[in-house]
Chain A
Amino acid sequence: MADYRDDRYYVDSHEWILLDGDTATIGISDFAQEELGDIVYVEVDSVGENLEKGEIFGSVESVKVASDLYMPVDGEVLEFNADLEEKPELINEDAYAAWIIKIKVSDSAQIEDLLDAKKYQDIAE
């Protein structure tokens, strides 16, 4: 049974976003991690770029699936979680601790369009 957290928001493409002032961390949901299976590689080549909501900021790969990662809100990609370069399995171990990117949120009004844990759980399952 997948885990859902109330402290953060979700989008239907299975990313979560955890706000901290005007910055935020983004990762993939526990449900998504289960669906993908053993994650073998995380690629982010958008650090330093300003991306819009819905744009691709990277991808995660398991042995037989590759899945693009989408921005939940507009923002500048500040950092890629370097731990994932060597240990992509951290996402399987704890999808909510293993953030993938840190961003600077450029339009906080967009937060209202995001899904809470309950709504996301309904969509995911």
Chain B
Amino acid sequence: MKYQTNLIFDLPQTGDNANRILKKCDVIKPNFAEFYGEHLLREKDLNIPNLSEIQVLRHYTNMSAKNFGVENGPYPLGSCTMKYNPKVNENMANLPGFRNTHPLQPTETVQGNLTLLYNLEQQLNDIFGMDHFTFQPSAGAHGELTGIMMIKAYHEANEDFERTVMLIPDSAHGTNPASAAMAEFEIREIKSNADGLVDVEDLKQKIDDKIAGIMLTNPNTLGLFEKEVKEITGLIHEAGGLCYYDGANANAILMQTRPGDMGFDVVHLNVHKTFGTPHGGGGPGAGPVGIKKILEPFLPKPVIKKLDADQTKFILDYDRPQSIGKVRAFTGSFSVCVKTYAYILAYGKQGLAEVSEAAVANARYLLERVRDSYHVPYQEPAMHEFIITAAWQKEKYGIITTDIAKRLIDYGYHPPTVYFPLIVQEAMMFEPTDTETLEGLEGLADALNAIAKEATENPDLLKNAPHNMSITRPDETKAARNPILKV
């Protein structure tokens, strides 16, 4: 297949075809120069091309063929939970009754939307053991920031202004320290022990009366369950801090255990990870944040409430003097919430327990299938994701993680997450997810074992991979040294 390489701006232009899409203007256009004044108006037309519909369709259809989606094959990107995105959920989110509602409509005209969000809040409270959820944050990292802001507001409300330190394990996602820093917290890093878990002794050393809280992922980013989580959250609470649960790995624990029961006060979710909403090549997402009662006054505005007089009616409550305010306009990524709701309906309590079971079982099985081919840095039982490394291959054959990842592309699989967490050299993190098929798991295992063999016999095959994509490896150094960011 021949791939086009044109940019949209390179295509031959057609004439003015504005009225192919738009109906003719049925009011008289006034003299704009007179109405606005020449000084406000553009002198020349915009420099964007006029194109025909078929040109645009072919252009983007051919571009899409250079992508790889969940429906192409296994996508074991660790910590990203690339599970199947149910088609019916797309249809539901696009129902005209949802799609064509304006965020500022009177609440009595959007009772369907508000009911859905209210019901979703109840479901999430049950699943995560929390008391309230807000749907305003647009993504996981946005949820983190929102949660951290609430922690800050809580300490401020208690006039506890000296609590300026956030504890974060060294294995944490980069967003944790970045979010905490945006709320002016100083980061104090906690070490991981040899088993890959939070070093509780190190934690004890680092707790003092300046701590505002801790941010923890559980299972952590190494795919290991923090068994001492109750002790950890207990220590933090004793010291007057609050506990933040990074929900990135929630797929591993659905209906097995709950952050609320582990002692967390705040949790954010990435619904594209846990509840199968599509990632869209980098968004749009939604990052609902759950909290315990003590943080309720600080929730972003507005909050969805039942009307006192009529418990079947919902309103948006803006009268919240202690609220942190807003983290974006309006109520959040509503249509992403519709997909989340449909997903949870499809499973129910029992089904969600099977989701986490299948996620963990698939990861465990895959790890055992490749254990003899790669270095496994941690021996604790993995949950929904696991880490192997290219340490053996690097030492003997000069093969690095990138080479293995790129060779996997030749086999038709998306590579794992690479070089993360930062505390593991040459890390490859695999997360097959609950929706990986039998043939997907077996194929992935066979490919990884075959690649380990190729490393010994024909290392160049790996070093020059991938061989069959629209491009070979791109020059990232050139891109960063002399950035070309537009045409």
* Bound complex: CA A64 to CA B480 (Å): 10
- Which interface class (under 10, 10 to 19, 20 to 34, 35 or more) fits A? under 10
Contacts of B477 in A (CB 8 A): 38, 40, 62-63
CB-based nearest A residue for B477: A38
A88 within 8 A of B: yes
Q: Does A89 lie at the interface of the complex (its beta carbon under 8 Å from any beta carbon of B)?
A: yes
Give B residues with C-beta under 8 Å from A: 419, 476-477, 480-481
Q: Which residues of A contact B480 (CB under 8 A)?
A: 40-41, 61, 63
Interface residues of A in 51-95 (CB under 8 A from B): 61-64, 88-89
CB distance from A68 to the nearest CB of B (A): 14
Give the docked Cα–Cα distance between A62 and B476 (Å). 10
Q: Is the CB of B481 within 8 A of A41?
A: yes
Q: What residue in chain B is nearest A88 (Cβ atoms)?
A: B481
Given A41-B481, A61-B480, A63-B480: 8 more A-B contacts, CB < 8 Å: A38-B477, A40-B477, A40-B480, A40-B481, A62-B477, A63-B476, A88-B481, A89-B481
- SS class of chain B's interface: helix, strand, loop or mixed? helix
Name the CB-closest residue of B to A92. Answer: B477
Chain A contacts of B481 at CB under 8 A?
Answer: 38, 40-41, 88-89
- Tell me, in angstroms, the Cα distance from A88 to B483 when the chains sit together: 13
For residue B419, which residues in chain A have a CB less than 8 angstroms away from its CB? 64
How far does the Cβ of A39 sit from chain B's closest Cβ, in whole Å?
Answer: 8
B253 CB to nearest A CB, Å: 31
Shortest CB distance B47–A (Å): 29
Contacts of A40 in B (CB 8 A): 477, 480-481
Chain B residues near A38 (CB-CB < 8 A): 477, 481
Q: List 15 A-B contacts (CB under 8 A).
A: A38-B477, A38-B481, A40-B477, A40-B480, A40-B481, A41-B480, A41-B481, A61-B480, A62-B477, A63-B476, A63-B477, A63-B480, A64-B419, A88-B481, A89-B481
| B480 → A minimal CB distance (Å) | 4
* Chain B residues in 8 Å Cβ range of A63: 476-477, 480
The 3 closest A-B pairs by CB, nearest first: A40-B480, A38-B477, A63-B476
Q: List chain B residues, Cβ under 8 A from A41.
A: 480-481
Give CA–CA (A88, B419) in the complex, Å.
25
> How long is the Cα–Cα vector from A93 to B380 in the complex, in angstroms?
44
Nearest-neighbour CB distance to chain A for B418, whole angstroms, equals 10
A19-62 CB mask vs B (1 if < 8 Å, else 0) is 00000000000000000001011000000000000000000011
Tell me the bound Cα distance from A56 to B148 in angstroms.
27
Chain B residues lying within 8 Å of A61, measured Cβ to Cβ, are 480
Contacts of B476 in A (CB 8 A): 63
Residues of B contacting A88 in the complex (Cβ-Cβ under 8 angstroms) = 481
Report the Cα distance A56→B404, complex, angstroms: 37
> Looking across the interface, which residue of chain B has its beta carbon closest to that of A64?
B419
- Determine the residue in chain B with the shortest Cβ distance to A37: B477
